Amino acid sequence: MTKILEARGRIVRAPESFLDREQIAAVSSGRRDFLRQAMLAAAGATAATAFSEARAEDGDPAILQPQPWSTSLGKPVASAPYGMPSKYEKNLLRRESPGLTRVSAASVSFTPLQGLFGIITPSGLHFERHHQGWQDVDPARHRLMINGLVRTPKVYTMDDLMRLPSVSRMHFIECGANSAMEWGNVAVPTVQYTHGMLSCSEFTGVPLSVLLEDCGYDRKNGLYVLAEGADGSSMTRTIAMERALDDVIVAYGQNGEMLRPENGYPLRLVVPGVQGVSWVKWLRRIEVGDQPFGAKDETLHYIDLMPGGQHRQYSSIQEAKSVITTPSGGQTLVGQGSYAISGLAWSGRGAIRRVDVSVDGGRNWRTARLESPVLSKALTRFSLDWVWDGSPAILQSRATDETNYVQPKAAQLRAVRGTRSIYHNNAIQSWAVAASGEVSNVQVG
């Protein structure tokens, strides 16, 4: 029993290059025991009995020893007025990729996908992408203006906005540059860096359509809107009116509370299915126009270099994509036996219909379980049971969305897009499992 429980352990060692010495010690010494205990809690009483008997036979009397937390008075309520994770979870952090950008204010921090469950990203672990740093904007002084081709231009306070009818919906946000470092043959070590410009939250706010109606947008000539942020980067993006009226939200809420400052407090645009750059943070202005605005963030930046020297502008939708988060790069399997392969799938065109998983580099595929809820333009958790026989394996996942679009292999994507792109890399990700159990990032086909 001990062996099986150990073998089901998910993360036993993290890659050292991205951890400081204290973190390495914590991860490599404590993780095994911790995982055993977590498995135990999850497995319930029957397994717990079997486990404790097994440990007793092994000569580990831990289960029989009274622990301080069972024999002393706990801390009072509200001694942590805003609850924080356990001190034993201090390694689960968003992290900056060393050397990725020259200035930290114009950079990225990545979500630690390898350590998360389900589909919701805790707000404090939501990835960050700022062009000119983040600000803690005073909501009392923040305004949203709607102007351009409207009957009545208006300026809204936060109080005005929060009196209007609201919606709450779960959506993923993925930066168009997610997995950018995988376009060539450069392979970064962990899923946090390959796919961690990805998060999913429940967002709350006013449908943009309500505000456009309120201002009387020009139904004939108002074909586009421009969204503008209040930070120093003057982030601006054009959005087609059809999409703006569909499911775009002017959001102030994230996972049941106000947005975090790093994610646009007090107001950001939520543009479901569309690359992160259009989700303008610290949103201060919406202008209605009759043509695309040709802003710097859509004509110079965030363009896709194609083969033959051409480039694509105004690309927006994040096509179907998936990644196995456990086991994934930098982790080590602790022995042969049963593992639950687990990962995330998403599509900017709607719901995920199916995820297939291969353990032999794409020769054979099995259909994974989709865990509920399976929502449109949200992350979907999938899992598949796997018995590892100790021989080298290559793990892959392949998503199909409700339009029947199938996530491509890297070679298929490169055949169309070339190798000079940065954005919109939705290729199948491969993780190689060595006989030692070590998992690493490899590029296959």
Binding residues vs ligand MTE (CB under 6 A)? 126-131, 173, 175, 229, 231, 233, 235, 262-263, 276-277, 279-282
Give CA–CA dist 91/25, Å, rounded. 11
**What is 248-297 written as a DSSP string?**
-EEEEEETTEEPPGGGTTT-EEE-TTB-GGGS-SSEEEEEEESS----HH
Based on CB atoms, which residue is closest to ligand MTE, 7 or 108? 108
Supply the DSSP symbol for 40.
H
In angstroms, give the least distance from the CB of 129 to ligand MTE. Answer: 4
In angstroms, give the least distance from the CB of 127 to ligand MTE. Answer: 5
Based on CB atoms, which residue is closest to ligand MTE, 227 or 375? 227
- Main-chain phi, psi angles of 266, to 5 degrees: -100, 5
In angstroms, give the least distance from the CB of 143 to ligand MTE. Answer: 15
In angstroms, give the least distance from the CB of 423 to ligand MTE. Answer: 10
Q: Name the strand (E) or helix (H) holding 355.
A: strand 352-358
In angstroms, give the least distance from the CB of 108 to ligand MTE. Answer: 8
Based on CB atoms, which residue is closest to ligand MTE, 122 or 362? 122
Based on CB atoms, which residue is closest to ligand MTE, 198 or 351? 198
Supply the DSSP symbol for 150.
B
Q: Name the strand (E) or helix (H) holding 7.
A: helix 2-7
**What is 391-427 written as a DSSP string?**
S-EEEEEEEEETT--BPPPHHHHHHHH-S---S---P
In angstroms, give the least distance from the CB of 221 to ligand MTE. Answer: 27
Give CA–CA dist 95/193, Å, rounded. 9
Based on CB atoms, which residue is closest to ligand MTE, 237 or 417? 237
Name, in order, each residue with C-beta under 8 angstroms of 111's C-beta and a sequence gap of 6 or more: 94, 121, 125, 126, 127, 192, 196, 197, 198, 199
Based on CB atoms, which residue is closest to ligand MTE, 232 or 390? 232
In angstroms, give the least distance from the CB of 303 to ligand MTE. Answer: 13
Based on CB atoms, which residue is closest to ligand MTE, 217 or 279? 279
Burial class (CB in 10 A: 0-12, 13-18, 19+), 16: middle
3-state secondary structure of 317: strand
Q: What is the dihedral of CA 326, 331, 337, 343, to 10 degrees?
A: 10
Distance spanning both ends of the chain, measured CA to CA: 39
- Is residue 97 within 8 Å of 188, Cβ to Cβ? yes
In angstroms, give the least distance from the CB of 46 to ligand MTE. Answer: 42
Give CA–CA dist 331/376, Å, rounded. 31
Helical segments of 96-222, H only: 158-162, 191-195, 208-215
Based on CB atoms, which residue is closest to ligand MTE, 266 or 276? 276
Nearest residue to ligand MTE, by Cβ distance, number only: 229
In angstroms, give the least distance from the CB of 115 to ligand MTE. Answer: 18
Based on CB atoms, which residue is closest to ligand MTE, 263 or 421? 263
